[in-house]
Amino acid sequence: MTKKLLIDFGKRIRAERLSQGISQEKLAELADLHRNYIGMIERAEINITLLNIEKLAKALKTTPIKLLRSKSTRVEKQRH
């Protein structure tokens, strides 16, 4: 796994959180995770588990697939 994957995922979490006007603390509460853990995800400091990706997706009212899908994957799908 490359660090880029963690960085991109963290950016997607942060962007989605901010687009919904949710603080790290509120997202942590909604996902039943610690606020520091949310910050570590957004800064790509940890490798998050699938179970926690699911918790974040539910808290953000989206799906794990949408959180995991990169822009390059979306572009490739559109080309086919």
Residues 6+ apart with CB under 8 A from 61: 20
Q: What is the pLDDT of residue 76?
A: 44
Residue 69: predicted pLDDT: 87
Range of the domain at 41: 3-79
Report the CATH number at residue 25: 1.10.260.40
Q: How far apart are CA 73 and CA 69, in angstroms?
A: 6
How many domains does the structure of the chain reveal? 1
pLDDT digits (tens, 9 = 90+) for 16-71: 999 999 999 999 999 999 999 999 999 999 999 999 999 999 999 999 999 998 76
Q: What is the mean pLDDT of residues 9-20?
A: 96
